[in-house]
Structures are given as structure tokens and as C-alpha cells.
Amino acid sequence: MIRALKAATIILAAISCAMVATVEAKDKVKVGFIGPLTGGVSANGLGGRNSVDLAVRLRNADPKSKYEYELVVLDDECKPNVAVQVATKMAAERDIIAAATHYCSSTAIATVDVYHKFGLPVVVWGAVLPDITYRNKYPEIHRVNGTMINQNETNAELVTKLGYKTFAVIYDTTDYGKGHKEYFSAALAKTGGKIVGAFGVGADQQDFTAELTQIKALNPEVIYFGGLTPIGVRIRAQMDKLGIKAVFDGTSGIVSDAYIQGLGPLAEGTLAFREGAPVEKLPGGKFFMERYTVQKYDNPPEAYGAFAYAAMDLILDSIEKVGPDRRKVIDDLANIRNRDSIIGKITFDDHGQNTVSVITKYIVQDGKWVVWEDSEYASGKRKLPRQK
Amino acid sequence: MDAGLLAQYVMNGLMVGMMYALVAVGFTLFFGVLDIIQFAHGDVLTVGAFTALLTFVGLHSAGRGSAAVLLAMIIVAIFAMAALGMLIARYLVLPLRTAPALNTLLITLMLGTVLRESVRLFYPQGANPKPFPALLPSNSVSLGNFNLRLDNAILLTAGALMIAGVEFLLNRTKLGLAIRAVAQDQETARTMGINFVAIVLIAFAIGSGLAAFAGIMNGLYYNEINFGMGLYLGIIGFAAAIIGGLGSIYGAILGGFLFAALQTLGTVALPFASAYKDVFAFAVVIIFMAWRPTGLLQEKISERV
């Protein structure tokens, strides 16, 4: 009798467990994120990772979603050799259906072949080198942020309009910096500015006094910098040490809180350009920032967090629609036209590039990145160095 | 090239050379005393710089005047790193002295990575470069193309005084005599009653203290420190110590300034490829080594046959 009772209890417990399990079981789907979580640009990588994590959390909290998503995060350290390793690891793992990848252009361009070989659909969220989507026509590669071509055209236009004629170019010798130099030089040639000297520097170089001394002798009105925040901070600080009076004109690589924190008052009057618009002005900006703040992440989303969120959202939408199959997701992503997202409408062209052409001009004013049109420099209340 | 420009280049070279020389002296001291390469030396420099920054943050919130704060930072960093150097010697290097020298090199290399990553992980937002306070007066006088800054002049003088101090210590004091004795012949020195372990610890303390000073100099010069600064300086300091001749203090100083001169020459001579100045400098170092394998100022070693 007791044995029968014991057996019955066990069977009942097993059945109820199974029932509970089936009721709660949504298929688990893995998605990936790759970004620079360590090193000089880690602030942007961590912001991107948090934003992607937010997208996955919100989707998992949504009762209407068909799958339960698990985020796999890998660190590319903003180094191409490491990036290829982690990309291969992620792409070779068949469970990972799609990924939001790369802030650094040097890493993104190094890994396009890996993703193509393994057939992993990726959406780039921060790298701006045009070659990433335009060098090959790989169906796997997509990008939600714009490229540096438009950025540099807007840059050349503004500085020429402000009356500057002589420029020195400092660029880092990765594909990112070289790309910026190429497109800025081309854009400047069209508007008639003169480049008095171009200097390539290492991506983690410490001492720029030698290059800057030469630049001082050449006496340009503007120093254009094609590179990322860590060396941007150093160059600007050493410019001041050598007594160089010129405008510091940068790219999306220095639009970050880390740039202002690194320089303090020296950051004042730095120009920079970025595709898209500041988070507050994005269509879904308020929504994104509210949800982001609730999660209490250690790091802010930084400049490209919203793009990372949008990239992951696209991926999750795709998987919801066609299921966890890489091939089907690739086909679905190819057909994205006028899709709504927090960064505005997304349309992928035949190379997977989002045809966003909005470029925002920024200037550092009183310790903050301010949109140029809203700044006192545009209205004339403040003047940039050597402005006529 | 006008005089002002040349003067600016010379100044830049001297500043950078001074920092390399300070690191190189440390390497040479360690090699001289124990015949080992202490590869964590560059990262001890980083930890020293961050210790100084922490001291500043601590004192700043207490609100003190700037000269006293700077002095406090220097003292705290130097003593802390001297202690760290002694710990490394006592627990990592001395136990391994009977093992092949390669083992010590490897273990200190690994320790270096541990130190570097600890700074990155445990210092708040350690992965980002950190602004270092500008505590020296920044008045400058412009002589044509040459911008002479007071803080650079002070740093240069302080560095020179430190090196002169170490040279004085080594050549004109009893302690220095003991260190040189141990460096020359460990066995005989012990027979003469010199406390070997104590001398090794002191040598490590001096070298690491110098590294801390170099770290602060670096921070004051660039107004920035980051967790990777020691790696680069360590490699160059090591190369400089080798060119100059491992075991010779003067050689280390010479090597440091020589390397800085090569880097500056590289930038000036190859303006289109200034990113390759390190390639140029190291290539010349390789050629030097082929010409003089034991360095420019060889240690005088005589072996009884």
C-alpha cells in the first residue's frame, strides 16, 4: 500500500514537472554581439553591448515573442587579429543565428570574409568604413549606421564655409584612419582647401610631439584628425603643450564622453561629425533612454548604443518572422525597406548598407557635445581659433 | 630647418629620452645585481603612476595646495613601488635564482600582465585613458618656433637629478659599493659579509622607485596615464638598456637618449611615414646589436681561467 502510494506520488510529480516544462518551454535561440569591450575604445563597446542586451531583454519580456533569446557576447579588443578569431568562433557555432558586430572599422573589415564563409548574418552597428559593405557584395553583411563618405563631405563643407583654407591631416594607420584621410582629402579637393601635410600615426601611439612640431612649422589653420578617442585626446593635449593654435577637427571616432573627460577644458571648440542624430533627437530616442536607464548599466550607451539596439532589434524581428535559420534570416534582412526603428527608417541597399544620409555636426561647448546649429559658435557669439 | 624648430625637436627628444633612461636604469640595475630580466618593470611604472593618481584624488577631496600634493604623490608612489619591487624580489625573483634565467623572465612577464590587467579591472573605468592633473606651472616662453615650457624644464631637471642621485648612490656610498660588489661577484660579496638578500631587495626597491618616478613624469608630461603605458615604455627601456650595455648605468642612460634621438630622427627624416619611426628606431637598434652585441658600454667582466 505504502509502496503503491510512493510510486503514485513519484509519477504524479514527474507528470506535473513535464507539464510545467512544456508550458514554459519556448525554444532558445542564440544571438551574438561583438564589440571592443576592453582597450581604449571600450566605452563605446560596452555601451553597444548594454544596448544590445537591452534589446534582448525587452524582447524576452515580451509575451508575444516566439522564442527565448540568449545573448552571446565576445570581445574583439578593437584589434583585427583578435576580431578574426572571435568572429570565427561565433560564426562556427551553428546555434548562433545572427549577430550585431563591431564598432571599430579595422575589425569589421577584417571579418567580412569570415562571416561570408560561414554564412552568419551580421548587422554592423558602429564601423563607418565604406569598404565593409561596398568592397564585396556579401549577402551576410549589413550595416545600420552610415559610412564615412558623407561624414567627410559634410566636414569639408563646414570648415570651408567657416573660411579655413589650410589643413594638416593626422590619421591613424588602420583602415579606419586611412579611410578618413582618403575621403576627407577628396572632399576637401572639391571645396578648394589645401592640405599642407599628412601624418600617419600608430593607433596606440603615446608621443605626438615630433609630428606636431612639424605641423607647427607648417602653420595650418585646422588640424583634421582621422582616428579614435584615445589618441585624439593625446593629440589635442600635446597640441596645447606645443602652443599650436588651430582648430581641432575630428570625426565620429572622437564623439564620445570619454573625449571630453580626457581633456577637460581643452576639449572646448573641437569639431566633429557623426551619422544619424543625437539620441534625444532620434525618433525612438526617448523610449530607448528611458528603458536603458531602468536597467542601471555601469556605462552609458555612448554615441552608437542606439544603432546597436536597432541592429539587434532588426535581427530579432527577422528571427521572429522566419525562424532560427541563418539562410532565411539573410534572405529576410535583404528585403528591409523603410523599416521603422528607434533610429528612424531603415532601408538596406543591394550591398546591405542602410541609406541613412543624415549627418550631425557637433562642437564641444562647455564640456558637452552640442549640435552645431544649436551652438553659440554657429550663431557667432563665440569664435573658433583663427576664425575670421 | 630653423633654430627654433631644431630646439623644439631637441627638447622633445630630451624629455622622452629622460623617461626611457629612467626605465632603462631600472632594467640595468636588476640585471647587474641578479643577472635577470625583470619584465614587469614597465608595469610597475604603470602601477606607480596610478598610485600617484589615487593619492591625488584622495588629497584633492581633502583640499590641499598643489606643491604639497605633488610632493605627497611622488613620495607615496615611490615608496609604494619600492615596496612592490621588494615584494617581487622576495617572493618571485629570489626563489627562482637557481633556475634558468628564462624562468625569471617568463614569470616576471606574466606578473607584468597581471599588474596591467589588475589596473584595468580594478581602477574605476581603468580601460579608458585617465587625465593626470597638471600640477606644474605651465608658463611658457615662445622663442620663434620653440615653445619652452616651465613644466618641461622642471621635469627634465628633476629627471636628471634623480639619475645623478642614483649614480651618486651607486658610486660614492657604502650601500652602492655593496650593490656593485654583489653585481660583480655574488659569492665573494657574501664571503665579505654583505647581506645578499638585503642588497637585492634594496636594488629592486631603488629600481622600482625610479620606475614610479618615471611614471609620474610621464603623467605630468602627457597629462594622461593609461593601463598600457608601461608595456611600451618597458620594451623601449629594455631595448635601451641593451644598446647601452646591460649592467652599466651610464650605458642605460646613453641607450635611453639614443633611442629617443633615433625616434625623433625617424620622424624628421621620414615625414611621410612618421608612423614608422618605431620601425626605424628598432631597425637601427638591431644593426647596433649586430655591430656591438654586448652594448655600447660593456660591463667589465674578467673571468679567471
**Domain annotation covers residue B7:** no
Q: What is the pLDDT at residue B287?
A: 92
Nearest CA in chain A to B278: A202
Tell me what pLDDT residue A344 has. 84
Query: Per residue in B231-256, pLDDT tens?
Result: 999 999 999 999 988 888 889 999 99
d(CA A45, CA A308): 10
| B237 domain residue, yes or no | yes
- Write down the pLDDT at residue B296: 81
The chain A residue lying nearest B145, using CA atoms, is: A217
B186: contact with A, CB 8 A cutoff: no
Q: Does B222 touch chain A (CB under 8 A)?
A: yes
Q: Which residues pair with A98 in a beta bridge?
A: A31
Residue B118 sits at the chain A interface (C-beta within 8 Å) = no
In this model, does residue B131 exceed pLDDT 90?
A: no
Tell me which amino acid residue A77 is.
E
Predicted confidence at residue B223, as pLDDT, reads 85
pLDDT value of residue A3 = 83
Q: Check residue A248 and report its DSSP letter.
A: E
Residues on chain B touching A208 (C-beta within 8 angstroms) = none
**A-B interface: how many C-beta pairs under 8 angstroms?**
94
Fold held by A149-274+361-379: Rossmann fold (3.40.50)
DSSP string, A281-323: GSTTHHHHHHHHHHHT-SS--TTTHHHHHHHHHHHHHHHHHH-
pLDDT score of B264: 87
Classify A260 in phi/psi space as left (phi over 0), alpha (psi -120 to 50) or beta. Answer: alpha
The SS3 assignment for A73 reads strand
The answer to whether position B253 is within a domain reads yes
Check if B5 contacts A (Cβ < 8 Å). yes
d(CA A231, CA A174) in angstroms, rounded, equals 13
Instruction: Report the pLDDT value the prediction gives residue B36, as an integer from 0 to 100.
Output: 85
- Whether B71 is covered by a domain: the verdict is yes
In a domain, B141, yes or no: no
pLDDT, position B295: 81
Is B63 contained in some domain?
Answer: yes
Total domain count for chain B?
1
| Residue A255 host element (H or E) | none
A19, A274 contact by CB (below 8 A): no
Low-confidence ranges of chain A (pLDDT < 70): 13-25, 357
B260 contact residues in A (CB cutoff 8 A): none
Residue B200 in any domain: the answer is yes
CATH 3.40.50.2300 boundaries in chain A = 27-146+279-357, 149-274+361-379
pLDDT, residue B272, reads 67
Supply the CATH number for residue B192's domain.
1.10.3470
Q: Which of A335, A286, A333, A292 is closest to A58 using CA atoms?
A: A292
pLDDT digits (tens, 9 = 90+) for B61-91: 776 667 788 889 999 999 999 999 999 999 9
pTM over the 0.90 mark: no
Please indicate if any CB of chain A lies within 8 Å of the CB of B133: no
Average pLDDT, chain B: 87
Write the DSSP assignment of A314-383 as a string of letters. HHHHHHHHH-S-HHHHHHHHHT--SEEETTEEE-B-TTSBB----EEEEEEETTEEEEGGGSHHHHTSS-
Helix (H) or strand (E) run with residue A171 in it: strand A166-172
Average pLDDT (B149-165) is: 91
B4 inside domain: no
| Single-letter amino acid, residue A99 | A
User: pLDDT over 90 for what percent of chain B?
Assistant: 47
Mean pLDDT to the nearest integer, B201-205: 93
Q: 48-87 in A: which are within 8 Å (CB) of B?
A: none
A40, A199, A262: residue with CB nearest B274: A199
CB spacing of A43 vs B128 below 8 angstroms = yes
**pLDDT in the model for residue B294:** 81
Q: Helix (H) and strand (E) counts for chain A?
A: 14, 14
* SS3 (DSSP) at A32: strand
Q: Phi-psi category of B136—alpha, beta or left, where left has phi over 0 and alpha has psi -120 to 50?
A: beta
Q: How far is B116 from chain A (nearest CA, A)?
A: 12
Mean pLDDT of B27-46: 90
Residue B95's domain spans which residues? 13-134+146-291
| pLDDT beyond 90 at B138 | no
Q: How far apart are CA A115 and CA B13, in angstroms?
A: 46
A347 to chain B, any CB pair closer than 8 A? The answer is: no
pLDDT at residue number B165: 93
Give a three-class secondary structure readout of B224-288. Answer: EECCCHHHHHHHHHHHHHHHHCCCCHHHHHHHHHHHHHHHHHHHHHCHHHHHHHHHHHHHHHHHH
Which three cell numbers mark B35?
Answer: 643577472
Write down the ipTM of this complex.
0.76
Chain-chain contact of A211 with B228 (C-beta, under 8 angstroms): no
Classify domain A27-146+279-357 at the CATH topology level.
Rossmann fold (3.40.50)
B275 neighbourhood in chain A, CB within 8 Å: 173, 199-202, 205
